[in-house]
Structure 1
Amino acid sequence: MSKSKRERTDYPGVYGTPHPTRKHGIRADLYIEITYRLDGKKKWEGLGWTSQNMTPLKASKILHDLKEAHRTGKGLRTVAEQREVAAAEAKEREVAKQQAERDATTFQEFWTDCYLPLQGEKSARSRATEASLWKLWIAPQLAEISLLKLVPFHLEKVKQEMIRAGKSPKTIKYAMGVVSQVWGLALRDGYVSAPFPGLQVKLPQKDNQRQRFLTPAEAMLLLKVLAERSPTSHDMAVISLFSGMRFGEIASLEWQDIDFPDGRILIRDTKTSQNRYVFLTSEITKVLRNRHSGQRSGLIFTSRTGGKVDRISKAYSRTADDLFNEGVADSRQRVCFHTLRHTYASWLVQKGVDLYSVKELMGHADFKMTTRYSHLAPEGLRRKAKVLEGSLEEKAEVWTGVLKGSC
């Protein structure tokens, strides 16, 4: 505002500039300013309007405090500095308030507000499984516990309840994995800072590795029935059986991933987060050629709505049950889609393929996952073990000759 419009007030160093139109009560609204000398120079600072609860008396007190700071060398010397400090303090209070709210966040609140909204990329089946585990086992024990107060004891309660209900070690491990994912997100976003308490909870162990794989005759029968019931399921099964690809990897395949001239398929965004190649066999090539009509892009397999196939078809599950699963209670012995991947690896080992090559073809992140197939090559192992046969006899003959020569 123009200096010419400033008017002195009853307080030294305090001025008011009337607003040309706006009233405060029956008088014009005044913009209050103070003036003082700072480092030998005259300085003006605006404090606010009387309609904003600023008065000449308040301004006079502020001016007095500033002059006292100038005289003693203690305290803030300008209104601008005071405002900066006030803003910083307000920000600190807001940060402290937000942190206090985070510290009080319960597992239920974080699950609903932070975790669930980020799970859209998971398959519908995975989301349904997590929702069921949350409702039945996790929420009853953890929902009202604040994240900061979560300790191994709470997770032990989840585990014990699931054990009492007869849940399998695999299901219990899955539930703990969900809690671990929630904790990881909370750790990333600053709600917690400690390692996951579940690391101190010993989970029940059971060998859940699938033992069942198909013989060539069984595989032929399965493919024959699938071809009649569901051509799409048949084609996906052929690809898995002759490449070891997981269902999700096959469902994600696009035409640009297929290199017919080079005989390779690029698998992107795998379970181990590493791209890899598998190789076209005549069986896979035939399936893909039959489905190919010149496309250069787009999904190879699509759902009825044209989107990505997000679950194993009922036709496949019914066929596997009809042919192989009647009366089979042990999940390790039941035939499912993953049995095709297991069959691929088993056949490779039976044909004499070394385990390292099997690991690379399967895309295993850990060699331990591959060694489970070593028992399928007993003859090869037996032959390798026998290379030492007769070693002691050979040594005995050598030593006998040495002793005779020394006599």
Structure 2
Amino acid sequence: MLWKEAVIRFMREKQNKDQTNEISIFKYLDPYFGHMYVDEIRRMHIDDIIQQRLKEGVSNATINRLLQKLRAVLNKAHKEWEVKCDPPFVKLLKEPKKRVRWLTENEAYRLIQALPAHTADMVVFSLETGLRESNVTLLRWDQINLSERVVFIEGDDILKSEQAFVVPLSEKAVDVLKRQIGKHTERVFTYKGNPVRRANTKMFKSICKEIGLEDFRWHDLRHTWATWHVNRGTPLEVLQELGGWSDYKMVKRYAHFSHQHLHKYVNSTQNQISTNFPTLAKFG
């Protein structure tokens, strides 16, 4: 099977609603693999791509997205399509430790007030659901059940989740959706009648800067949602399900925001110490 044939079949079977990222990655890979069969791809070819991307000043995280897509195509050809090939081991590059930037409620309020209405609605919806940017901007009406107050998020490796999951909607999230009714037949969030494609725009970044939100990007709304949940006592295993994380380690980074649940275990030893060591009882 030619690499080009594998790419076409991969995209046809995945049927992602927005293939912009995939197309960009495969266009970049075409000069390297466009003339090759999948069984001809070796580790040295992949190393060449990595070195070239590093020379171009691309981050490790961006290179890893490319490597993940490359690996996905080769593995699918080998395991599912039974193409005779032996895919090389694709090792991802080390990435910086994930930062957690989040807003206070006051900061969130100031941001919402400063934004135009259509963007403010998307911010409120993100803070209420914890959904990623693409999950919000590409949201369709057929994914929503207002009577049951849920949103169905489809599995998509671009959106970092292979499994579909259900997101329950709060009162505020439902209010946001109701305000969008009638604006477009298919897509939920629009601007001047046209579906929104991006939210982390220059306008959004400019307004963040104007109101003093330094080092803040759209994805940090998801961090904010998760942090608020933990601060209010939501167990991490529940947060994992609400956020659609497949890896518990992704949720653990929010653990340090919660400590109230530990106090009951610390205090459980107090009576025992007071009984066994009466002289300590007077110190409370």
TM-score between the two structures when normalised by the length of structure 1: 0.56
The residue correspondences of 1:182-261 to structure 2 (distance < 5 A) are 182-187=73-78, 188-194=80-86, 196-199=87-90, 202-226=91-115, 229=116, 231-250=117-136, 251-254=138-141, 257-260=144-147
CA contact (8 A) 2:38 2:85 kept: no
The residue correspondences of 1:6-405 to structure 2 (distance < 5 A) are 102=1, 105=2, 107=3, 109-110=4-5, 121-123=16-18, 125-127=20-22, 129-131=24-26, 133-134=28-29, 139-140=31-32, 142-187=33-78, 188-194=80-86, 196-199=87-90, 202-226=91-115, 229=116, 231-250=117-136, 251-254=138-141, 257-260=144-147, 262=148, 264-270=149-155, 271-281=161-171, 283-292=172-181, 298-302=186-190, 306=194, 308-312=195-199, 314=201, 315-324=203-212, 334-381=215-262, 383-384=263-264, 386-387=266-267, 389=269, 393=273
CA contact (8 A) 1:244 1:340 kept: yes
* Cα separation, partners in 2 of 1:322 and 1:254, compared to 1, 3 Å: same
* Cα separation, partners in 2 of 1:258 and 1:128, compared to 1, 3 Å: same
* Cα separation, partners in 2 of 1:148 and 1:378, compared to 1, 3 Å: same
1:324-368 superposed Cα distances (whole Å, 9 cap, x missing partner):
566xxxxxxx32222112111100111122112212221222222
TM-score between the two structures when normalised by the length of structure 2: 0.76
AA at the equivalent of 1:285: V
1:150-187 superposed Cα distances (whole Å, 9 cap, x missing partner):
22232233223333444322112112112113313533
CA contact (8 A) 1:325 1:335 kept: yes
1:15-50 superposed Cα distances (whole Å, 9 cap, x missing partner):
xxxxxxxxxxxxxxxxxxxxxxxxxxxxxxxxxxxx
1:263-311 superposed Cα distances (whole Å, 9 cap, x missing partner):
x223241444323131222x3233233334699x7432246565x5332
Structure showing greater Rg: 1
CA contact (8 A) 1:125 1:311 kept: no
Q: Considering Cα pairs closer than 8 Å and 6+ residues apart, tell me whether 1 or 2 has the greater RCO.
A: 2
* Cα separation, partners in 2 of 1:125 and 1:305, compared to 1, 3 Å: farther
CA contact (8 A) 1:115 1:182 kept: yes
* Cα separation, partners in 2 of 1:190 and 1:256, compared to 1, 3 Å: closer
Q: Secondary structure at the match of 1:198?
A: coil
Q: CA shift at 1:190, angstroms?
A: 4.3
CA contact (8 A) 1:210 1:339 kept: no
Q: CA shift at 1:209, angstroms?
A: 2.3
Q: CA shift at 1:238, angstroms?
A: 0.7
Aligned residues: 270
Q: CA shift at 1:394, angstroms?
A: 7.0
AA at the equivalent of 1:244: G
Which structure features the higher share of strand residues?
A: 1
Which structure 1 segments of 5+ residues have no match?
Answer: 1-101, 327-333, 398-407
CA contact (8 A) 1:169 1:205 kept: yes
Match of 2:282?
A: none
Q: CA shift at 1:393, angstroms?
A: 5.0
Q: CA shift at 1:192, angstroms?
A: 3.3
Q: Secondary structure at the match of 1:285?
A: helix
Which structure 2 segments of 5+ residues have no match?
Answer: 156-160, 278-284
* Cα separation, partners in 2 of 1:256 and 1:159, compared to 1, 3 Å: closer
CA contact (8 A) 2:146 2:174 kept: no
The separation in 2 between residues aligned to 1:274 and 1:392, in whole angstroms, is 48
